[in-house]
Structures are given as C-alpha cells and as structure tokens.
C-alpha cells in the first residue's frame, strides 16, 4: 500500500478509535516508514508502537510497504492503539521492577518478559474485538471462535507432523 493511502485511512479512523479506547487524552504521532533493525518477530514488521505513559505520548510507526489492504491496516492500527491503552499497567510493572535491577543481563531478561506480557495482553484484547463479547450474541461468536481455533490447531498439528517426517 502506498504511504498516502495508508495516511488517509489512518487519519479517517484514528480519532474515533482513540475515543472508543478511552485514550483520547494521549498525543499520538504516526510515522510512515520502514521498520528495520532487530526485533522479536520473524520477517518484516508492519507496525510498531512506542508509548511513553509518563507523558501520555506515543509514536506509532506504520510500515505501509508490508500492508496489502485497508482491513490489514486497520487491524494493525487497532493493535498499536491497544498497546497505548495497556501501557499504563506495564508502566507500573516496569517502573517497580527496573528500580531493583542493577545487572544488565537481568534487565534484558525483564525486557523479554515485559514485551511478552504486553503482546499477550494486546492479543487477548484483539480477540475480544474480533469475536465480540456481547452476551445476546455470545453463543454465535463462541461457535465461530471455537471453529476457527480448531481449524488453526488442526492445521498447525498437521504442519508439525509433516516437519518431523
């Protein structure tokens, strides 16, 4: 996707998303550029968020080259805004733990834990958005989510068995 299209889609949606996530008081800068350098993921990264809870400021980086359509871009935008939404919890954790760490290896290990907890929390919230948790319709959403997960686990089990051969 070209950067001007990505920018137009983000600008059309970011204010509403911020209000719905109750993070409208944040100052969020969006940059459109390549995300390079070492990361915890395989391959290229399409989005990244750096949140500074103390100042209520965040930078979201969108790597438009890695994004194929509007749906993918909006999912990435939601993911990165959820990092902003949960950053207050992790800011507290980080501040409490890092004040007691005086060893570089321990600090690196804590960063790995912190990153993993942050990603897990965001992924759990994404699941709620994707499948919904509106009780009058919860049963239908549950059946859909269970079917998708069963498909995922069935296909990933098959892949693992194939790899062993």
Positions in the binding site for Zn ion (CB under 5 A): 119
Identity of the residue, 66 or 119, whose beta carbon is nearer to Zn ion in the bound complex: 119
Least separation in angstroms between residue 35's CB and Zn ion is 12
Which class for 7: exposed (0-12), middle (13-18), buried (19 or more C-beta within 10 A)? middle
Least separation in angstroms between residue 11's CB and Zn ion is 22
Q: Taking Cα atoms as reference points, which of 8, 14, 75, 26 lies closest to residue 47?
A: 75
What spatial distance separates the first Cα and last Cα of the chain, rounded to whole Å?
39
Give 142's contacts (C-beta < 8 A, 6+ positions apart): 131
Q: How many CA atoms lie within 13 A of 92 on its CB side?
A: 3
C-beta nearest to Zn ion: residue: 119
Identity of the residue, 9 or 87, whose beta carbon is nearer to Zn ion in the bound complex: 87
Q: What span, in angstroms and rounded, lies between the C-alpha atoms of 118 and 82?
A: 10
Identity of the residue, 50 or 145, whose beta carbon is nearer to Zn ion in the bound complex: 50
Identity of the residue, 57 or 119, whose beta carbon is nearer to Zn ion in the bound complex: 119
Least separation in angstroms between residue 111's CB and Zn ion is 14
Least separation in angstroms between residue 83's CB and Zn ion is 6
Least separation in angstroms between residue 119's CB and Zn ion is 5
Identity of the residue, 44 or 138, whose beta carbon is nearer to Zn ion in the bound complex: 44
Residue with tokens 């929390």: 121
């Amino acid at each position: 996707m070209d950067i001007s299209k990505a920018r137009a889609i983000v600008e059309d949606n970011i204010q509403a998303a911020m209000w719905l996530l109750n993070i409208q008081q944040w100052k969020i800068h969006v940059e459109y550029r390549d995300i390079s350098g070492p990361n915890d993921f395989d391959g290229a990264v399409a989005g990244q968020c750096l949140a500074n809870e103390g100042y209520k400021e965040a930078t979201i980086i969108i790597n438009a080259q890695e994004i194929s359509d509007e749906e993918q871009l909006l999912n990435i935008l939601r993911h990165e805004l959820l990092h902003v939404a949960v950053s207050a919890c992790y800011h507290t954790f980080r501040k409490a733990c890092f004040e007691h760490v005086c060893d570089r290896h321990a600090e690196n290990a804590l960063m790995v834990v912190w990153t993993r907890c942050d990603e897990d929390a965001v992924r759990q919230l994404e699941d709620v958005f994707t499948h919904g948790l509106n009780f009058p319709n919860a049963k239908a959403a549950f059946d859909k989510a269970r079917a998708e997960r069963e498909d995922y686990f069935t296909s990933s089990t098959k892949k693992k068995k194939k790899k062993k051969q």
